[in-house]
Amino acid sequence: MAKIAVLAGDGIGPEIIAEGLKVLKAVAPQHGLDLEFTEALVGGAAYDATGHPLPPETLELVQNSDAIFFGAVGGPQYDIIPDPNLRPERGALLPLRKKLGLYANLRPCILYSALSSACPLRADLVQGGFDILVVRELTGGLYFGQPKSWEGDNAIDTCLYSREEITRILHVAFKAAQKRPTKRVVSVDKANVMETSRLWRDTATKIAAEYPDVELTHQLVDATAMDLVRRPQSFDVIVTENLFGDILSDEAAQLTGSLGMLPSASLGQGTFGLYEPSHGSAPDIAGTGKANPLATILSAALLLRYSLGAEAAALQIEKAVESVLNAGHRTGDIAETPDTKIVTCTEMGDLVVAAL
C-alpha cells in the first residue's frame, strides 16, 4: 500500500485537490494500485487552527508517507503576519522542501495542440506545439541563503550555492535529457555578474563531460526569458537555480495557455516527492468553481510516475487530459474565445475521469 499525504492548503487548494484525488481513485484500481490517502492541515488553514503553517503532526505525517499531494498555500490575509517565518509560503512550503531534501523541481511545460490558440504568441512561433522541461534547483540560492534580514531602510538576501548543490541538480537535468528525443540541455545563469553563476557554469561544463550524448548550451537568464517568447521550440530541458527557475517556469507556463496547466514534481534522493500545481492559491476565485484542476490532475500523473513507478497509469491520466482538451472542454483560464463553452472545476475533473 502506498501512503499519500494530502495537504490541500488554502484558497482553491481544496477544490483542485478534490479533483486530483477523484482521478487517482479512478485510475488506481485499473492498474492494481493500493493507495491510502491521509489529509492534514498546511499553510494558512494550519496557521488559523494551530498557530503555525506547518504543525508537527503534519510534518510527522509527510515523513511517514510515500508522497505528498499538495494544493496551494497563502492569501492576502496572511501577508500581514508580523513574523515572516509564520507566513504560509515561508513557514510551510519552503521548510517542507528543505526538511525533506526535495532539491529538484521538475516542471513540464507542454503546449497541447488543442490549446495552440490559447498561447499568447503568434501562431507561426508555436506551430506544432512544444515540450519544455524546466529543472529548477529548489533548496538553495536567495530563498534559503543566510543572512536574511530587513532592518530600517536596508534589506539583505544572500545567494549561496555550493558545488555539491549544483552538481546534483545538473545530474537530474542531464539524465532527464537522455530520455528525451533531442537530448539538449540549456543551463541558465547570470555568469556575467554573479559569482554563484560563475560556479554554476563551471560545474555545468564539467558535468556535461559525463554525458557525451547530451548537448549543453550556456545561456544568460535575461536572454533565456527573451528566447522563451521569441523561439520556445528551441528549448528542450532548461536547468537553473532557484530564483531564475521560479520566474522562467511561470513564463513558460503562460505559453502553454495558462499557469493552470503546469504540474510540478519536487524530488530528492529516492522515490519520495511532493506533487503540486505550479500556480498559487488564487483566493479571488476560491469557491466559485472557476479554478482549473488540470495542473493538479497532471501532478497526480507525475506522482504515479516518479514516486510509485506506475508509468502506465501516469500515461493514462495524461492521455485522458489531452482527450478532454481535444473535445473542446475548457475552464475559463484556457477559453480561447468568448463563446467557448466553459466547464467548472468539478465538471473538468468528472470529464477526465470519464476519459480514463
Phi, psi (rounded to 5 degrees) for 83? -85, 110
Kindly report, residue by residue over 17-40, the tens digit of the pLDDT.
999 999 999 999 999 999 999 999
Q: Angle 6-172-247 (CA atoms, 0-180°, nearest 5)?
A: 70
Kindly report, residue by residue over 83-123, the tens digit of the pLDDT.
989 999 889 988 898 889 999 999 999 999 888 888 889 88
At residue 287 the predicted structure's pLDDT band, cuts being 50, 70 and 90, is very high
Identity at 304, one-letter amino acid code: L
DSSP, collapsed to helix, strand or coil, labels residue 7 as: strand
**Model-level pTM greater than 0.85?**
yes
Say if residues 96 and 58 touch (Cβ distance below 8 Å).
Answer: no
Identity at 250, one-letter amino acid code: D
Give the mean pLDDT of the chain: 94
On the question of pLDDT at 338 being above 80, the answer is no
Q: What's residue 127's pLDDT? A: 83
Q: What's residue 118's pLDDT? A: 85
Give the integer Cα–Cα distance in Å for 96 and 9.
13
At residue 253 the predicted structure's pLDDT band, cuts being 50, 70 and 90, is confident
User: What's the DSSP call for residue 342?
Assistant: B
Give the integer Cα–Cα distance in Å for 136 and 239.
6
Q: What's residue 166's pLDDT? A: 98
Q: Stretch 192-216: mean pLDDT, rounded?
A: 98
Kindly report, residue by residue over 262-275, the tens digit of the pLDDT.
999 999 989 999 99
Q: Stretch 143-150: mean pLDDT, rounded?
A: 93
Find the range with the poorest average confidence among 126-135, 189-198, 331-340. 331-340
Contacts of 126 (CB under 8 A, 6+ apart): 111, 116, 119, 232, 233, 255
Q: So which residues are the catalytic ones? A: 143, 190, 222, 246, 250
Q: What's residue 61's pLDDT? A: 97
Contacts of 107 (CB under 8 A, 6+ apart): 133, 134, 135, 136, 245, 249, 252, 253, 262, 263, 264, 278
Q: What's residue 279's pLDDT? A: 85
Q: What's residue 185's pLDDT? A: 98
